[in-house]
A and B are shown apart, each in its own frame.
Chain A
């Protein structure tokens, strides 16, 4: 009798626990979307951002068929902007960051129209990230020196050291002309500006004879430092 009761109880337990549950699943093969046309660009021409002063920057998310996007901009892991626009504007504040190497990291999460279920619902999300090194130099410039002044066929060829740091703005070349080698007060003056850091020489075609003095100055981090005067007497 006990065995029968157990058997009946087993039947009852089975009866209570076995309702129909659909378990089949469809799987349709859909090609995953191509996002190789999507890119993040910055309004800086170079891969490295060199700064000596605070700069407004613009990051653009480019690509076809992008529906919505959120862009996160971080410098050294600190968030500085979250934007839902395809074009994100932000400020790199050099005074906050200070002189040294930093890292700009930009990630965009975006949805794109695709042929998948999530794509049809506008819920398929993709991510693209890029990093740019930032080199900031806001320290005062170090002076460059005139290495040599040589007479070449009646013209004076000046050569100076190249300024090596990233905060370069301009070279200023000052020329002072004197009436005689003994004279201490100059009679004429000429100033030239070179905005290319790689220019390290100047051919003075206006030199005739006598005493001239050259001073090369560097403007960097919005400050100017000058070399020692270089005196040339023919």
Chain B
């Protein structure tokens, strides 16, 4: 069934994100007295949908793959009353290129389970957007940052095959080595908090995804 084949798949799943550094920074903003007003943290890097596409080659129960991933999450610190609103949004988006190496250890007629690892280069983009809405007018300011992380994700994959179409479910945990977060177009400026500690985009977390794929069997 898989002595030698090539397949492509795309999928959509849920990812959680640690974002410890950015969360700490948001908490420090919430704790700050903003002219006597008390802002709230209404979004705090929640789990969110991510997207994945992969091309893989299986040869004698060993899986080799190359993939692209796109995901996003964010946070919002906000204050609002009858007179207006103020927002501070951290919007994190990333694109990743990954290399997969896997080994099939359960193989039934139409069903296989494999243990895998994916190493990725993760290109993060952070947009910090501040907006003040008062009396129908809006003032907005935004700063963009970028960073490069390296990820390693061990994961299990279960795959059910209908002729040449297959559906797979992957679940794993991605570890990341975080890189310095630079201001866009200012590669010597990087982001720090009030205590001069560097802030990182730490996207480590659980990844669970359902993929739909097509298999090209080699005769």
Q: A123-B135, A124-B83 are in contact. Are A24 and B76 (CB under 8 A)?
A: yes
Interface size class on chain B is 35 or more
Cβ-based interface call for B98 (8 A): no
Residues of A with Cβ closer than 8 Å to B?
Answer: 4, 7-8, 11-12, 14-15, 18-30, 32, 114-121, 123-125
Asked if residues A118 and B84 are in contact (CB atoms below 8 Å), the reply is yes
Asked if residues A28 and B12 are in contact (CB atoms below 8 Å), the reply is no
Residues of B with Cβ closer than 8 Å to A?
Answer: 10-12, 35-40, 42-43, 46, 48-49, 51, 53, 70, 72-76, 78-87, 89, 91-93, 132, 134-135, 165, 212, 214
Asked if residues A15 and B10 are in contact (CB atoms below 8 Å), the reply is yes
Q: How far is the CB of B31 from chain A (nearest CB, A)?
A: 15
Residue of A nearest to B38 (CB): A28
Q: B residues within 8 A CB of A119?
A: 83
CA distance A151 to B154 in the complex (A): 126
Q: A15-B10, A28-B79 are in contact. Are A22 and B89 (CB under 8 A)?
A: yes
Q: A25-B42, A26-B39 are in contact. Are A19 and B93 (CB under 8 A)?
A: yes
CA distance A22 to B128 in the complex (A): 12
Q: How far is the CB of A44 from chain B (nearest CB, A)?
A: 34
Q: B residues within 8 A CB of A125?
A: 135
Interface centre among A19, A119, A124 (most CB of B within 10 A): A19
Q: A residues within 8 A CB of B81?
A: 27-30, 116-117
Asked if residues A15 and B51 are in contact (CB atoms below 8 Å), the reply is yes
- Jot down 24 A-B pairs with beta carbons below 8 A, ordered by A: A7-B212, A8-B10, A8-B212, A15-B10, A18-B49, A19-B72, A20-B92, A21-B91, A22-B42, A22-B74, A22-B89, A22-B91, A24-B76, A25-B85, A28-B81, A29-B81, A117-B79, A117-B83, A117-B85, A118-B83, A118-B134, A119-B83, A121-B35, A123-B135
CA distance A14 to B86 in the complex (A): 30
CA distance A8 to B37 in the complex (A): 49
Q: B residues within 8 A CB of A28?
A: 37-38, 79-81
Asked if residues B82 and A30 are in contact (CB atoms below 8 Å), the reply is yes
Q: How far is the CB of A175 from chain B (nearest CB, A)?
A: 69
CA distance A18 to B10 in the complex (A): 15
Interface centre among B37, B38, B165 (most CB of A within 10 A): B37
Query: 5 new A-B pairs (CB below 8 Å) besides A22-B42, A25-B78?
Result: A4-B214, A25-B42, A26-B78, A120-B37, A123-B134
Q: A residues within 8 A CB of B49?
A: 18
Asked if residues A117 and B37 are in contact (CB atoms below 8 Å), the reply is yes
Q: Which 10 A-B pairs rank lowest in CB-CB distance, beginning with the nearest?
A: A24-B42, A118-B83, A15-B51, A22-B76, A116-B83, A19-B72, A22-B43, A20-B72, A26-B40, A120-B35
